[in-house]
């Protein structure tokens, strides 16, 4: 018999459900409104089907930009209200301003207000249903960890922080002794002999093996895992789960078998992809230079008042194949900011001027780098270029760090849109994981994903 208690959705499935039902609820609400009321602005029929396609595309595109498909946002009622309101407002405005693809503006302006209200209420109603039911405990994906005790806290936080619907409810200790095992908060310690029965009694979705000590997988534990596999249970290795859920490469769990993690994307050598990317970079850079020239008088005045020094500055950065180049930026720090040597920029860094903080938050300080992109030193999307001093320092501590240099550094990247500004070596490790994930999975789809998330970062003022 099918049981809801055992039903769960993967991250990709949840996002697909959100996208699909966003469109279905909106179109259904508009269709019903058109039949029940004197609402003729948006009439769904065989002759104007493209109106619905354009509206569906707008909802998905602006929903992506305003984080409607971020599972953390989608599971929080307040954030749902905020993102829904912004998404609907932008979608309706753009839809009204593109009459070539949408209906002509109605003579009765109340229809525009009704159009907005119907879309907002339809989306918000569906999202509240999602929060109440699909994001509830009954649809959590329950998992068990098989690992060493000292790994428990790190592994649990690493998985659950990325997916609010993924819950580790127990762990099997693979250390030699099972005595005096401490439970971690709500995560129960499961004795090896009880693994099979615990999985069957608690509706476990998958078993995740994270132990790096093969001797911890005893013959009895191995037999239980084999029986679970034969019974249809999913058993996965931790690094696979980590990469698929966090979208980072777990370099901290690599050793001599690093080659398993680096079947890098063929896009890195695909001439058609590289040519398309280069043409895109040139187009974006030209637009960026034009916008920069338009903003230049304001930046010049702001710099004279808030920075009181030269506007531009250059700095050495490491590019593709480890070649050092000069990066161009608007100055955001006080004069002689590094008289005591190079250090990471920190949150609320006292060296950053008031105007410089505005430039960083809005990412306007990066505009001169469009010139670096036109010169070919950088790409629009890729790992952020680091200074030679820090590259040498981090590479001595962190294996694989210089792997970032097999592609051009970028103005924005997977690490920048997923993680805050790096202030420490540990931050650099996390950003490295994102950078390696991008290099491994590089594609047009991932590039578009980064582009949308970059817009979100700028609009929500998340710069450093």
Please state, rounded to an integer, the average pLDDT across all residues of the chain. Answer: 83
State yes or no: pLDDT of 133 exceeds 90. no
pLDDT at 16: 93
State yes or no: pLDDT of 308 exceeds 80. no
Give the H or E element holding residue 125: helix 110-129
| Position 294 confidence tier, pLDDT thresholds 50, 70, 90 | very high
pLDDT at 267: 81
Compute the distance between CA of residue 220 and CA of residue 375 in angstroms, rounded to an integer.
62
State yes or no: pLDDT of 356 exceeds 50. yes
pLDDT at 124: 96
| Position 61 confidence tier, pLDDT thresholds 50, 70, 90 | very high
Pair 44, 34: CB distance under 8 Å: yes
* Domains of the chain and any CATH numbers: 11-135 (no CATH), 141-246 (3.40.50.1380), 271-336+345-460 (no CATH)
pLDDT at 2: 41
pLDDT at 245: 81
pLDDT at 48: 74
Pair 206, 234: CB distance under 8 Å: yes
pLDDT digits (tens, 9 = 90+) for 222-266: 888 898 888 888 888 888 888 888 888 888 776 656 666 676 778
Pair 61, 19: CB distance under 8 Å: no
Q: How far is CA 347 from CA 360, 364, 417, 426, 434, in A?
A: 12, 18, 17, 15, 21
Pair 461, 286: CB distance under 8 Å: no
Give the H or E element holding residue 106: none
- Residue 273 has φ and ψ, to the nearest 5°, of -65, -45
More confident of the two residues 422 and 373 = 373
pLDDT digits (tens, 9 = 90+) for 407-434: 999 999 999 888 876 667 778 888 999 9
State yes or no: pLDDT of 401 exceeds 80. yes
Compute the distance between CA of residue 22 and CA of residue 123 in angstroms, rounded to an integer.
6
- Of the candidates 311, 303, 307, 308, the one whose C-alpha atom is nearest the C-alpha of residue 329 is 311
pLDDT at 1: 41
- Residue 36 has φ and ψ, to the nearest 5°, of -95, -25
Count other C-beta atoms under 10 Å from residue 238's C-beta.
21
pLDDT at 83: 92
pLDDT at 214: 62
Give the H or E element holding residue 329: strand 324-330
Dihedral sign for Cα 234, 239, 242, 245, please. negative
| Position 149 confidence tier, pLDDT thresholds 50, 70, 90 | confident
| Position 75 confidence tier, pLDDT thresholds 50, 70, 90 | confident
Complete DSSP assignment for 18-78: HHHHHHHHHHHHHHHHHHHSS--SS---GGGHHHHHHHHHHHHHHHHHTTTT-HHHHT-HH
Compute the distance between CA of residue 306 and CA of residue 219 in angstroms, rounded to an integer.
69
pLDDT digits (tens, 9 = 90+) for 189-212: 888 888 888 988 888 888 988 866
pLDDT at 336: 62
Choose the weakest-confidence range: 45-49, 93-97, 236-240, 321-325.
Answer: 45-49
Compute the distance between CA of residue 273 and CA of residue 359 in angstroms, rounded to an integer.
32
3-state secondary structure of 159: helix
State yes or no: pLDDT of 56 exceeds 80. yes
Compute the distance between CA of residue 28 and CA of residue 54 in angstroms, rounded to an integer.
15
State yes or no: pLDDT of 176 exceeds 80. no
Strands 312-318 and 324-330: antiparallel
pLDDT at 339: 60
Compute the distance between CA of residue 212 and CA of residue 209 in angstroms, rounded to an integer.
9
% of the chain exceeding 90 in pLDDT: 30
Compute the distance between CA of residue 8 and CA of residue 25 in angstroms, rounded to an integer.
22
pLDDT at 185: 62
Compute the distance between CA of residue 367 and CA of residue 104 in angstroms, rounded to an integer.
38
State yes or no: pLDDT of 463 exceeds 60. no
- Alpha helices, DSSP H, located in 313-353: none
């Amino acid at each position: 018999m099918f049981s809801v208690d055992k039903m769960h959705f993967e991250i990709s499935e949840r996002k697909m459900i959100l996208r699909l039902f966003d469109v279905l609820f909106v179109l259904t609400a508009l269709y019903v409104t058109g039949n029940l009321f004197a609402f003729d602005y948006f009439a769904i029929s065989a002759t104007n089907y493209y109106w619905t396609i354009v509206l569906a595309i707008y909802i998905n595109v602006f929903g992506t930009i305003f984080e409607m498909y971020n599972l953390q946002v989608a599971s929080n009622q307040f954030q749902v209200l905020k993102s829904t309101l912004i998404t609907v407002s932008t979608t309706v405005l753009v839809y009204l301003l593109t009459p070539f693809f949408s209906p002509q503006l109605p003579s009765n302006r109340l229809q525009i207000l009704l159009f907005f209200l119907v879309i907002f209420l339809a989306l918000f109603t569906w999202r509240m249903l999602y929060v109440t039911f699909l994001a509830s405990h009954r649809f959590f994906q329950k998992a068990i960890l098989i690992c060493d005790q000292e790994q428990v806290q790190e592994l649990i936080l690493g998985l659950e922080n990325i997916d609010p619907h993924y819950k580790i409810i127990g762990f099997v200790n693979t250390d030699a002794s099972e005595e005096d095992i401490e439970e971690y908060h709500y995560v129960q310690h499961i004795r090896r002999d009880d693994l099979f029965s615990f999985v069957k009694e608690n509706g476990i979705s998958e078993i995740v093996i994270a132990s790096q000590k093969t001797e911890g997988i005893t013959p009895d534990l191995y037999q239980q895992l084999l029986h679970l596999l034969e019974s249809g249970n999913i058993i996965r290795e931790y690094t696979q789960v980590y990469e698929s859920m966090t979208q980072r490469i777990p370099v901290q769990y690599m050793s001599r078998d690093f080659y398993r993690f680096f079947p890098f994307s063929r896009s890195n050598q695909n001439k058609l992809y590289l040519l398309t990317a280069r043409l895109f970079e040139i187009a974006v850079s030209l637009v960026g230079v034009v916008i920069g020239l338009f903003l230049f008088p304001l930046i010049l005045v702001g710099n004279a008042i808030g920075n009181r020094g030269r506007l531009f500055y250059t700095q050495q950065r490491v590019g593709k194949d480890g070649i050092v180049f000069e990066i161009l930026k608007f100055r955001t720090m006080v004069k002689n900011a590094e008289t005591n040597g190079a250090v990471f920029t920190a949150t609320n860094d006292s060296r950053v001027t008031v105007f410089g903080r505005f430039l960083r938050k809005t990412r306007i300080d990066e505009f001169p780098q469009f010139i670096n992109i036109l010169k070919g030193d950088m790409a629009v999307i890729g790992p952020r270029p680091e200074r030679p001093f820090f590259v040498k320092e981090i590479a001595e501590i962190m294996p694989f760090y210089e792997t970032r240099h097999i592609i051009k550094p970028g103005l924005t990247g997977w690490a920048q849109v997923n993680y805050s500004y790096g202030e420490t070596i540990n931050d650099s490790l996390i950003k490295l994981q994102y950078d390696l994930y991008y290099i491994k999975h590089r594609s047009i789809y991932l590039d578009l994903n980064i582009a949308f998330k970059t817009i979100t970062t700028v609009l929500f003022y998340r710069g450093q």
